[in-house]
Amino acid sequence: MLQRPIPATGELLPVIGLGTYQAFDVDDRGPELKPLIEVMTTLSRLGGKVVDSSPMYGRAEAAVGAVAQGAGLRDRMFYATKVWTSGRDAGIRQMEESFRLMRVQTMDLMQIHNLVDWRTHTTTLQDWKARGRIRYLGITHYHEGAYGELEALLKTRQYDFVQLNFSIAERSAEEHLLPQARDLGVAVIANRPFAQSSLFHRVKGKPVPAWAAEFDCTSWAQFFLKYIVSHPAVTCAIPATSKAKHAQDNALAGHGKMPDAGQRRRMAKTLDDF
């Protein structure tokens, strides 16, 4: 799988990871865990390692911890989660619980979810990073209405990662935020890569363009993901799924040729014309 460096350190990350919103909101001791073990195993087998969660996602953090252990992948994944509450003490309690649920001693990436009380949590997490409790610090949002605030915070150079909505259907980040992240040396995680599945509704019944074979694309999922990860500022995209066949299809988007700038424009126009 194609890998991109985290600008802060040069550490390489595979460009296709795994989101857990809704898909991993299951009983961590129930039968629903078995297909999720297959999902994570498939992702790892095809070269992926980033798994992203949040306390906002119900039981997802606990499921991530149980799945990684059940799949024998505890030491092979890159774990990312978020703090999603207000106040220093509440934030610390929530993050400590995330460590427990995800069964990690060190969190690879802790992110401030939707910028909730970001001043308070930034102070805490800078201390935790200095002490080795987390490896990277990030900020997130899911809506372009927050781009102005994200841009301002990136300029402070306090953050290693920014997570934002970016897809072939939601391209506004390409105008300023993605170039800024690249210039400032901030890694980018793209959430909502399928625009909450709406992209599949738009192309239902339509074949993938034959010319997509020029960049080794055989499905619409790969078409959408290759558009995202071919952008030079993007470090990783995190499609969520609870099905191994979809995890395989998604992961294959990180393999083979990637579309160039001209092909990306053609991809966007194709979608716009539907």
Q: Is residue 131 part of a domain?
A: yes
Residues facing residue 162 across a β-bridge:
139, 188
Structural domains counted in the chain: 1
pLDDT at 274: 87
Report the candidate in 141, 146, 241, 153 with the shortest Cα–Cα distance to residue 191: 141
Report the candidate in 57, 130, 53 with the shortest Cα–Cα distance to residue 99: 53
What CATH number is associated with residue 170? Answer: 3.20.20.100
| Under-70 pLDDT residues of the chain | none
Q: Is residue 5 part of a domain?
A: no
Q: What's the pLDDT tens digit per position in 28-80?
A: 998 999 999 999 999 999 999 999 999 999 999 999 999 999 999 999 999 99
pLDDT at 180: 97
Q: Is residue 140 part of a domain?
A: yes
Domain that holds residue 182: 12-273
Q: Is residue 3 part of a domain?
A: no
| Contact residues for 53 (Cβ-Cβ < 8 A; gap 6+) | 20, 24, 60, 61, 64, 79, 80, 81, 82, 98, 102
pLDDT at 197: 87
Q: Is residue 6 part of a domain?
A: no
Q: Is residue 1 part of a domain?
A: no
Residues facing residue 82 across a β-bridge:
111
Locate tokens 């795994």: which residue? 18
Q: Is residue 51 part of a domain?
A: yes
| Contact residues for 59 (Cβ-Cβ < 8 A; gap 6+) | 24, 25, 26, 27, 28
In three-state secondary structure terms, 243 is coil
